[in-house]
Amino acid sequence: MDQLAETLTEPGKLVYLESPANPNLAILDIAAIARIAHQKGALVAVDNTFASPINQHPLELGADLVLHSATKYLGGHSDLTAGALMTSAELAAAVAPWRKNLGQLLSPETAALLSRSLRTLPVRIRQHNENAMAVAQAMEHHPKVRRVLYPGLDSFTDQELAARQMKGFGGMVTIEVDGGREKSTAVADNLRLFLLATSLGGVESLVSQPCATSHHGLTAEERLKRGITDGMLRLSIGLEDSKDLIEDLNQALAKAFA
């Protein structure tokens, strides 16, 4: 962020960002980034997948393009793969031929599933937000949990910025357990309600271990530089009863640290 203005030395560039970001849920100031980018003649694209269109409106904050993996919250039932791009008619017209020529049109069956899912998006997101907050608060008090990263917690570094730019804090919670990789593996393996999978945004809760999945390709040193530790577990909080989710995490932590 501090180096953005200096980095954007040539016109016609694109600033591409994700907020909240995977997996530490870091928040970027979309309005401030858009101001700097536009001064330098660059466009701003925001991957809004983690927030969903219910929790965050990047276009209102100054972004030019907003992307969603519709595979996640928009679909919401882990049964389709799709994407969505929101932008001006002018920019969309530039993208449309690529979409057609690359064969990225949805099948009617997938489009129908997605259309049905969108009808329940607001209530699903409301429950994801509520459940994630309950799980984050419960985990914050667990003696074997070193850190809980959730934009809605007062302890979260970017809480104020998140509260300013988001309407809800989302369904993604990242916890860091004591004991590094061995213990985070043990916790993940002992969970019964949370399924071990790398996707997110569905009705069912999922757990993934960034150091072994999404960020496996980086060295431990590179991961650490990005704030990703071996004790981290990324939770996609689903629509189950939050008490059951907390109980499941508690029993898995108890087994891992027995």
Residues at the contact surface with ligand PLP, assessed by CB under 6 A: 18, 22, 47, 49-50, 69, 71-72, 81, 83, 200
- Rounded to a whole number of angstroms, the minimum distance from the CB of residue 82 to ligand PLP is 7
State in angstroms the smallest separation of the CB of 143 from ligand PLP: 31
Residue 60 CB burial class (10 angstroms; 0-12, 13-18, ≥19): exposed
- Shortest spacing between CB 200 and ligand PLP, in angstroms: 6
Euclidean distance between CA atoms 187 and 194, whole angstroms: 11
Q: How far is the CB of 68 from ligand PLP (least distance, A)?
A: 8
Which residue lies nearest ligand PLP, judged by its C-beta? Answer: 69
Q: Which is nearer to ligand PLP, 114 or 153 (CB)?
A: 114
User: How far apart are CB 50 and ligand PLP at their closest, in Å?
Assistant: 6
Asked if residues 204 and 238 have their Cβ atoms less than 8 Å apart, the reply is yes
Instruction: Between 40 and 238, name the residue whose CB sits nearer to ligand PLP.
Output: 238
* Residue closer to ligand PLP (CB basis): 208 or 229: 208
* Residue closer to ligand PLP (CB basis): 19 or 129: 19
Nearer to ligand PLP, 183 or 234 (CB): 234
Phi, psi of 7 (to 5 degrees): -70, -35
DSSP secondary structure of 203-251: SS-EEE-GGGTTTTTS-HHHHHHTT--TTEEEEE--SS-HHHHHHHHHH
Pair 139, 173: CB distance under 8 Å: yes
Please state the separation of Cα 31 from the chain's center in Å: 19
